[in-house]
Structure 1
Amino acid sequence: MASYLVLEPGGAAQEKAEKAVFVRDGFAALAFLVPFFWFLWHRMWLEALAALVLGLMLGALGTLLGFSLVAPLIGLLLSVLIGLEAQNLRVAALRRRGWSVWGVVEAGNHNEAEMRYAADVAPLADRPPAAPPTVPAALSAGTGLARGSSFDLLDYPRGG
């Protein structure tokens, strides 16, 4: 399963749900192969310009200094870095345009992520009543495991 970060535009709640953008967390293969065009496709003009300038500078540096093997290697490393960080750069660009992060959806593919998001933002009247959570007797008896029994580094105070 993959994690999808859901971003919503500003505006009415119904409009937000219809225009939500799902950004998959992970390596962007197309951004690795053709970073300039990937940035242009996602309307990230500054990032596209930066990728183009860095690529041209690396080529010129390799030609001027005579590093016939080092310049392509550095270019490959730059492409790997762009492939790893492209989705984060896309989220940052959307946030600069006024989009807000709704949350994270775990799903097997993009369509499943959309369905899970739609189920979460459905009006409360359309949802069936939720069953109360069950707590094992050992945890509710005050054995000390109920508070701070997670693998997290910090224990946050909980209500109750």
Structure 2
Amino acid sequence: MPVYTVHAPSPAGADLRATDKFVFVRDGFHFWAMVFGPFWLLWNRLWLALIGWVVVLAAFDAGLSSLGVGRSAIFFANTIVALLMGFEASSLRRWTLSRGKWRQLDVVIADDEDTAERRFFERWSQKQRGIVNDQWAVDRGGPPPTRGVPGQQFSNPPPIPAGGIIGLFPEPGGSR
């Protein structure tokens, strides 16, 4: 069953209420990215990945031809590079989204993208208490949560039991 990652624009770039801008990226092998690599990159607006693909493939082919490798071996090597493009296409798309200040909200397992959207929005609408305080979103590249910031999940430590500390260690300053 396919796995989808859900990405949303950063809060500074767009409001989380603009759910029509959420992007669902399917993890796995992309056949069309393997067959039509540069066109697939253009279609998905992966400009830096396209430039990198062109540069790497040109350098790879020039290096192989300068070593005196035959045309059939170069074709086989290009087929392997195309296969790698098919496997890494979703990772390139997620990388481009993260560079554009998008953040990953969730991971959804579903048969197709429509079912993934339905499952995500059912679960997401139940968790949304306030759109501004989105504690469950994965913010890649942001600082880790700290206890001093209000609104974090673990801002306040749990209360100490009334009878003292339970466990192997006694209270500080207590009798032994």
TM-score, normalising length: structure 2: 0.64
What corresponds to 2:151 in structure 1?
Answer: none
- Structure 2 unaligned runs (5+)? 129-157, 159-176
Q: 1:53 and 1:124, CA in 2 relative to 1: closer, same or farther beyond 3 A?
A: closer
Q: 1:99 and 1:76, CA in 2 relative to 1: closer, same or farther beyond 3 A?
A: same
Match of 2:108 among 105, 128, 136: 105
Tell me, yes or no, if the aligned pair for 2:4 and 2:26 is still in contact at 8 Å. Answer: yes
Match of 1:48 among 47, 50, 57: 50
Match of 1:31 among 21, 30, 33: 33
CA deviation string 1:22-50 (max 9, x = no partner):
00010011111111111111111111012
Q: How many pairs align? A: 125
Q: How far did residue 2 of structure 1 move?
A: 1.1
CA deviation string 1:96-152 (max 9, x = no partner):
101000111111101101111111222569xxxxxxxxxxxxxxxxxxxxxxxxxxx
Match of 2:83 among 57, 80, 94: 80
Q: 1:87 and 1:4, CA in 2 relative to 1: closer, same or farther beyond 3 A?
A: same
What corresponds to 2:141 in structure 1?
Answer: none
Tell me, yes or no, if the aligned pair for 1:58 and 1:71 is still in contact at 8 Å. Answer: no
- Point out the structure with the larger helix share: 1
Q: CA RMSD in A?
A: 2.1
Match of 2:124 among 121, 126, 139: 121
Match of 1:20 among 19, 22, 36: 22
SS where residue 17 of structure 2 aligns?
A: helix
Q: Which has the larger radius of gyration?
A: 2
What CA distance in whole angstroms lies between the structure 1 residues aligned with 2:87 and 2:44? 16
Aligned-residue identity in percent:
31
CA deviation string 1:69-122 (max 9, x = no partner):
221111111111111111011101101101000111111101101111111222
Runs of 4+ in structure 1 over 6 Å off:
none
